[in-house]
Chain A
Amino acid sequence: MTRNLLITGALAVLLQVGGMVAGLTLSPPEQHMSDLVRIMFVHVPVAWAAMATFTVTLVAAIGWLSTRRWGWDHLLDASLEVGVVLGVLLSVQGSVWGYPTWGTWWTWDPRLTSVAVMVLSFLGILALRAFVDDPDKRASWSAAASILAWGSVPFTYFCVKVMNSLHQKQTPWGAMAPEMLRVLLLNTGTVTILTLWMLVARYRLARVELQRELDT
């Protein structure tokens, strides 16, 4: 890693730690779920970051298929892996929040099912990439699959609006106490910065890996 990448990474981590400390201390408890509301401050930003990252995957896939520039494939590679990490984390957080709130760790409601399909689809594409030897085919196949898999992202976002689900709908502005909203926005910022940093670091790794692969 370059010096600049290390310094910005350390800053991103510090910001994230600050956001989480704020999540644990600055917000009041919720009047029914009490301190459980603090899980929202890490869950909602990770949900946003995962879906945004998979949308970066879509852009990279279209970019590769239309230009055949390797930079798009590096971005595809990076966003797939970062998105899957965020997606798995999202499910764990949701499960830990769901048990004391809903009364279950997991249920096949539309939102949870859709997130499972989304994360598993992109995980499958990541696996696909690992066993295709030809870099060109690897890039094209995973790009085509990513465009298909991205359909799960808007479905995940909108399903709670139009289908009966256990998961609540998006909270409209004003339905959240301002002291909580502030902490949520702070954490949305820190998670976004950290995600961008992870994408940059993983992009550089993808570039080095492809170079090494072509050299041998």
Chain B
Amino acid sequence: MMGVVTDPWPYVWAAYGATTLALGAYLVSLWVRSQPSGGTSEER
């Protein structure tokens, strides 16, 4: 049918996946950096 997008889901998943990844990775980085060692040393 003309004028209607027929295969939307791969893009929907990509956008929601990117959102989850970006926010998730940033939250993890905040958590790691706020550890007492600053997340840099091997041993606390």
Total A-B residue contacts, Cβ distance less than 8 Å: 83
Given the known inter-chain contacts A198-B27, A201-B34, please indicate yes or no for A85 contacting B8, CB distance below 8 A: no
A205 touches B23 (CB 8 A): no
B16 touches A204 (CB 8 A): no
Q: How far is B34's CA from A131's CA once the two chains are assembled, in angstroms?
A: 21
Q: Which residues of A contact B30 (CB under 8 A)?
A: 198, 201-202, 205
Q: Which residues of A contact B20 (CB under 8 A)?
A: 20
Q: Tell me, rounded to whole Å, the shortest Cβ–Cβ distance linking A209 to chain B.
A: 8
> Which of A93, A96, A100, A208 is close to B5, meaning CB atoms less than 8 Å apart?
A100
B34 touches A204 (CB 8 A): yes
Q: Which residues of A contact B22 (CB under 8 A)?
A: 85, 88-89, 92
Give chain B interface residues in 1-44, CB to chain A under 8 Å: 3-9, 11-12, 14-16, 18-20, 22-23, 26-27, 30-31, 33-34, 38
B15 touches A96 (CB 8 A): yes
Q: Mark A100-119, 1 if CB is under 8 A from B, else 0.
A: 11000000000000000000
Q: Mark A1-44, 1 if CB is under 8 A from B, else 0.
A: 10000000100010010001001100001011111101100110
A198 touches B26 (CB 8 A): yes
- Taking CB as reference atom, which chain A residue is nearest B26? A85
> Which of A16, A34, A42, A97 is close to B4, meaning CB atoms less than 8 Å apart?
A34
Q: Which residues of B contact A201 (CB under 8 A)?
A: 30, 34
> Which of A85, A93, A198 is close to B15, meaning CB atoms less than 8 Å apart?
A93
Question: Is A46 located at the chain interface by the 8 A CB criterion?
Answer: yes
B12 touches A38 (CB 8 A): yes
Question: Is A158 located at the chain interface by the 8 A CB criterion?
Answer: no
Q: How far is B18's CA from A96's CA once the two chains are assembled, in angstroms?
A: 9
A36 touches B16 (CB 8 A): no
Q: Which residues of B contact A89 (CB under 8 A)?
A: 18-19, 22-23
Query: Given A42-B15, A82-B26, 17 other A-B contacts at CB below 8 A?
Result: A1-B34, A9-B27, A13-B27, A20-B20, A32-B5, A36-B5, A36-B8, A36-B11, A38-B12, A42-B16, A46-B19, A85-B23, A89-B23, A97-B11, A99-B11, A205-B30, A208-B34
Q: Which 9 interchain pairs have the tightest Cβ spacing?
A: A35-B8, A89-B22, A39-B15, A36-B8, A34-B5, A96-B15, A34-B8, A42-B19, A96-B14
